[in-house]
Amino acid sequence: MQLHQERVERYYKIHDLSAKKIDPATIARHVGISRQSVYSYLKMTEPPARTRIHRQDKPLIDPYKEYLIKRWNEGCRNAKPSLSGN
């Protein structure tokens, strides 16, 4: 939430400075971002929308859990493949 608020404030600040005929390089130094970022903000017709963080429902290990437990129960205690092909 805080990051989105900062982006919205930056949008208004950049557009305000641009309306005062301040060049993008000076705006970039004043705001503390790159000139390319200033140009990106100036192309926007409205403040940036809030982006959502996509969270996974299941841990990444889930597809491998059964196999890993099987290997642990077989006595495997490292990630080095065995020579016998097990």
45-75: string of b/e by CB count within 10 Å (b at 16+)?
eeeeeeeeeeeeeeeeeeeeeeeeeeeeeee
Please write the tens of the pLDDT for every residue from 62-75: 889 999 999 999 99
**Tokens of residue 48, six digits:** 């940036």
Answer left, alpha or beta for residue 58, where phi above 0 means left and psi between -120 and 50 means alpha: beta
pLDDT above 70 for 84: no
Parse the chain into domains and list their residue ranges. Answer: 2-43
**pTM exceeds cut of 0.75:** no
